[in-house]
Structure 1
């Protein structure tokens, strides 16, 4: 058994400390084995002689009596970056109220099936009792104050995925490793939905892009009597992204809804035959710029830091460039600043939409990056907007910084005339829409533009709140 020399230090909490080691598998031959045959892991067997144990302490200062929790890595997903990297582990920990989170799962050398059934563990989990001695040994000494034995709950990881199949791993010079993967989503009471998504290793819990998948007519005919598992195992390129359809990710719907605050000026442009111009800072898989171009008839310029990401968008997510949609490689913030210095009429935009996340994995998932929310950059963004323009920001406040969001609101209110907020409702994302004109006001439901906007944004038009 290979044991990390840092284990002795686990007697106390040390902010952001991360330790992983091998431990003899306590589930071998036992009925509670979460990785045995029939566990939904697609053939993990007994996951080997040893398990991988990873321990992470929260970067947030712990209380006098720190609390520890554990999680069994879902069967078949032990190599997923959510469970195998420090960045993914940190996101899981920060989504809880615990000071230490212990992940237990197969070693990373154990292969995963090509298509992974995503089966939730039972609650209460019968595996908890066999793990308890190990979990108690990994609790900090402060948790045993007054001779009490601490409770170490076994948390469950559950999402709406039924199946998951990696399609391709790609490495970009800026974003690093990324994965394109197909998933079957539980949309009960309706039928399951097939989607393709893009994730970066540096932020594995953040889905960068997600689009619906449709089958070619030949594939649909061949799979009419097949199970979802058979469809995904035999897809072989027969599943294609739905191009120009409705947006799948709620925060993107909310970003598009932000255009409602300048709907009268957009309606006027459309009626006069002039396409409004939009700058998309951050392209990802391209679903946002494609929807704005196709669904709302905008003239769109997208700026993406990594050319490999644009290649992925073109080859796997249906991004198509034409006379009204152009994308290029560059620093989006630098592009905004360069445009502001030029002060030429042809660089004025009706909207600047910022969908950039922090590149610092140890801040967990957060957006936009700190570089974007400097006063000089926000002034530059206002400069490149026309007199009826709007800056729309996707915001994920850092979990460890409660002042971030308020500070951003205060700064936007200093630079822009009006500020609106949309709560995405997922506990993470907010969308802020800051307008240049002080006369901007929300309008009713009339007009062609608002009708088309509602198709993309759905009910989020009803959740716009002026700050």
Structure 2
């Protein structure tokens, strides 16, 4: 794909007048602007925040830290993704920065613009050396998503000990920050990202350092259809295996002690999903849900999710809605479909991360506390603050069913 055109004056003025307001942005620079036929106008920008914002919860890693943001015009006032930019190498994030971490990229309003912001002196000093730090998560809802892995920590541990890869599917690429982070800290994952818009994929690669390898792939496809096909395929595979097993059992030879030999079909399992994360925003503002699109909370889709998950699998959905009625509707539907449902309500935010387990299993009240050390052993971090933040967040997860 060729280079995108430079931002038009009209587009920039529109952004200036309609989006940037009151989140403590000190300086900004538009890196790229493009209009996608699927997503609409998209902006990639570098920003520097004011040092010490009013509520003390700003996303400041240091006085002059630069953050790169991905924003969709259709989600008025919301930042889709945000990454810390470093100058040529990953920097250690001080504990104070972790405490000031942004509550959620997907619920933060864009910052105020000053007349001298276009100069971007601090950002322009070393633009050629800027790179995304994939060891740092600027969004607490990303940390919240990972913290929920404590719910299946024992299953992950068992898979790793047996030498198996864990299949993870993320619906919604954004800037690719979550899959890149998971690829680094959980090398036992086989990650497939399903993204509807190829333009988003290009931007993630060009401006956020997203790269694919043998364990991290991107599929340009519809997320709902992808899950339904996995569910249908899993069901067909199970039925075929059962039929094959019945046929072979009639012809199976026996060993001298009279015990039948193991059928080639016995012990095989379809390649279901172990971890499914839905992290996509909605293009329909009238639905009352900012994340995810309404199709992802329909009962038919939730049933497909349950069918597509492995026995010890985990379903994670990032829910953003200011309507208590819609939130209750989503929770009610998920309770009907799944054996267990858990919630993580992010502080001072409209984001809620929901975790569902497909099967009814016995889960003790203090199981998350017990599982946290298990998860800690599985994660590989270059920054201890991030790991501790994930474990601390896991303790805030509550049971809804």
TM-score computed with the length of structure 2 as normaliser:
0.71
CA contact (8 A) 2:64 2:122 kept: no
Partner SS, residue 44 of structure 2? strand
| Between structures 1 and 2, the one with greater strand share | 1
CA contact (8 A) 1:349 1:386 kept: yes
Structure-1 residue corresponding to 2:395 = 462
Structure-2 residue corresponding to 1:316 = 207
- 1:360 lines up with 2:291 in the alignment: no
* Distance (whole Å) between structure 1 residues aligned to residue 369 and residue 311 of structure 2: 18
- 1:405 lines up with 2:340 in the alignment: no
Q: What is the CA distance between 1:236 and its match in structure 2? A: 3.9
Structure-2 residue corresponding to 1:370 = 294
Give the alignment of 1:184-333 within 5 angstroms.
184-186=48-50, 188=52, 190-216=62-88, 229-243=120-134, 245-297=135-187, 298-333=189-224
CA contact (8 A) 2:274 2:314 kept: yes
CA contact (8 A) 1:260 1:450 kept: no
Structure-1 residue corresponding to 2:354 = 432
Once the two structures are superposed, residues 104-145 of structure 1 have per-residue CA deviations (whole angstroms, 9 ceiling, x without a partner) of xxxxxxxxxxxxxx9xxxxxxxxxxxxxxxxxxxxxxxxxxx
CA separation of 1:269 and 1:451: change in aligned 2, threshold 3 A: closer
Aligned CA RMSD, in angstroms, stands at 2.4
CA contact (8 A) 2:71 2:80 kept: yes
| Between structures 1 and 2, the one with greater helix share | 2
| Structure 1, gaps ≥5 residues long | 1-76, 89-117, 119-156, 218-227
CA separation of 1:408 and 1:365: change in aligned 2, threshold 3 A: closer
* Candidates 15, 24, 29, aligned match of 1:80: 15
Structure-2 residue corresponding to 1:99 = none
CA separation of 1:339 and 1:284: change in aligned 2, threshold 3 A: same
Partner SS, residue 79 of structure 1? helix
Partner SS, residue 393 of structure 2? helix
CA contact (8 A) 1:203 1:365 kept: no
CA contact (8 A) 1:253 1:458 kept: no
Aligned residues: 307
Which structure carries more relative contact order (alpha carbon 8 Å, separation 6+)?
Answer: 2
Q: What is the CA distance between 1:197 and its match in structure 2? A: 1.0
Q: What is the CA distance between 1:251 and its match in structure 2? A: 1.1
CA contact (8 A) 2:157 2:374 kept: yes
* Distance (whole Å) between structure 2 residues aligned to residue 176 and residue 235 of structure 1: 31
Once the two structures are superposed, residues 312-365 of structure 1 have per-residue CA deviations (whole angstroms, 9 ceiling, x without a partner) of 001111111001000011111111111111114454111100011111135576
CA contact (8 A) 2:30 2:43 kept: yes
* More deviation, 232-241/193-202: 232-241
Structure-1 residue corresponding to 2:379 = 452
CA contact (8 A) 1:279 1:352 kept: yes
CA contact (8 A) 2:75 2:290 kept: no
* Distance (whole Å) between structure 2 residues aligned to residue 446 and residue 250 of structure 1: 20
- 1:396 lines up with 2:320 in the alignment: yes
Once the two structures are superposed, residues 217-253 of structure 1 have per-residue CA deviations (whole angstroms, 9 ceiling, x without a partner) of 7xxxxxxxxxx9423134443311113x131111111
CA separation of 1:466 and 1:365: change in aligned 2, threshold 3 A: closer
Partner SS, residue 207 of structure 1? coil
* Candidates 171, 174, 177, aligned match of 2:38: 174
